[in-house]
Amino acid sequence: MHVLQRLQCQSGWCLGFCLAHLGRFAEKEILPGRYGIAIVGIARSVQPVAFSQRLLHTNRTSYDVKEAASPLESVLTIEEVGDNEFCASTPWTPYGQSVKHMFGGQAVGQALMAAGRTLRGEHAGKLVNSLHAYFLRAANLTSPITYKVDCIRDGKSYSVRQVSAIQDGCPFFTSTMSFHHYEESSPLYHQVDLPQDIPMPEDLLEPSEVVERYLNDASQARLCSHISVYPSRVIDFRDGDYPRDDTAKPDKNRKVLWMKLRQQLSKANPLLHQCAMAYLSDFLISRTAFRIEAHSTHLSPLRFASLDHGLWIHSPDALANDWLLYVLESPVAKAGRGLNTGRLYSRDGKLLASTAQEGAYRMQRL
């Protein structure tokens, strides 16, 4: 199994480092790294410079054409095929060819699109205020998906929909969603403010710059860290772990990620923007729980799976076109499960959405 899966993005070649079977290159010793779980022992089999050059020239495998060029609107596209029934023919993953399963954020976004399209008549102006989803099993990237929507309730202020996603005759995802006619006035108004010490996207390295700065520094354990550089022609991002000022110390208890769509969405379609935010809300959140544990010497490589996903959208005017800040934390992990929470802010500090996701975490056999 390859140490590295090379992926292609708009600005050049980016890298995704995998915690996988390292074969003869590593002795499977896990130590804490600045940016995550560091695997050491590689230099004993391969000289540092030679190893870094190997990373530069291994696996020049491009995306599938459909994966490389799809704008987010295409990723979220569904077709109505029956009464409250929709079909999506293009399961997709932003993580490249090493991943064989559909990205959970696409299921959340498409299910929300399906539910929103069943709001008709006087209910058509409602927008989602919350959704609660369960990932029942992994979905493959080859078979089409059917979304079946049950209209549970249509009230004056709120509507509720239940969505089941089915692939090859088996449900793999289910979600309940609430839609609301947003109210102009409210007796309560407050939010958790944007943390003051958050770096702006201009203060963070681009993914290609992360590779350029750290790839040839084989003396650093972080070279082999399990960093997530997600190349995508759909999303531009800046990881808070990689400031331009290399002396800055990332907070191990908090993950910070700036995200922005590479292609602007029409402001005339608020449902599409909410689906885009639902899609984005699944990025990196499941990794937050073991971010803290990566600084503990007892941790071994993990395999993990998302169990559920919760999303609350607070602002009816939330748009996904500009930079969005994702602040991720994990308040607790035990009994083989970890809870991850997130807050999505606009660049000017407005809290747009909140998220929560529980994951199952088990030891990875090497």
- What is the CATH number for 248? 2.40.160.210
Q: Nearest 5 degrees, angle CA 331-CA 336-CA 342?
A: 30
Active site residue 246: no
Q: List the one residue out of 215, 173, 277 whose CA is nearest residue 13.
A: 215
CA atoms within 13 A on the CB side of 160: 6
Run of H or E residues at 128: strand 127-135
Q: List the one residue out of 366, 286, 353 whose CA is nearest residue 319.
A: 353
Question: How far is residue 266 CA from its own chain's centroid?
Answer: 22
Is residue 193 within 8 A of residue 176, CB to CB? The reply is no
CA distance 316 to 85: 26
Q: Which pLDDT belongs to residue 300?
A: 53
Q: In this predicted model, what pLDDT tens digit does every residue of 7-35 receive, in sequence order?
A: 333 333 333 333 233 332 333 332 233 23
- The answer for residues whose C-beta is within 8 angstroms of residue 209's C-beta and 6 or more apart is 242
Q: Which pLDDT belongs to residue 267?
A: 87
For the chain, the domain total comes to: 1
Q: Which pLDDT belongs to residue 232?
A: 62
Active site residue 357: yes
Share above pLDDT 70 across residues of the chain, in percent, rounded to a whole number: 70
Q: Which pLDDT belongs to residue 216?
A: 63
Q: Which pLDDT belongs to residue 231?
A: 46
Active site residue 251: no
Q: Which pLDDT belongs to residue 96?
A: 61
Q: Which residues of the chain have pLDDT under 70?
A: 1-71, 94-98, 215-233, 294-301, 365-366
Q: In this predicted model, what pLDDT tens digit does every residue of 164-182 receive, in sequence order?
A: 999 999 999 999 999 999 8
Range of the domain at 220: 4-363
Exactly one of 306, 330, 346, 354 is catalytic; which is it?
A: 306
Exactly one of 282, 286, 346, 354 is catalytic; which is it?
A: 282
Q: Which pLDDT belongs to residue 97?
A: 62
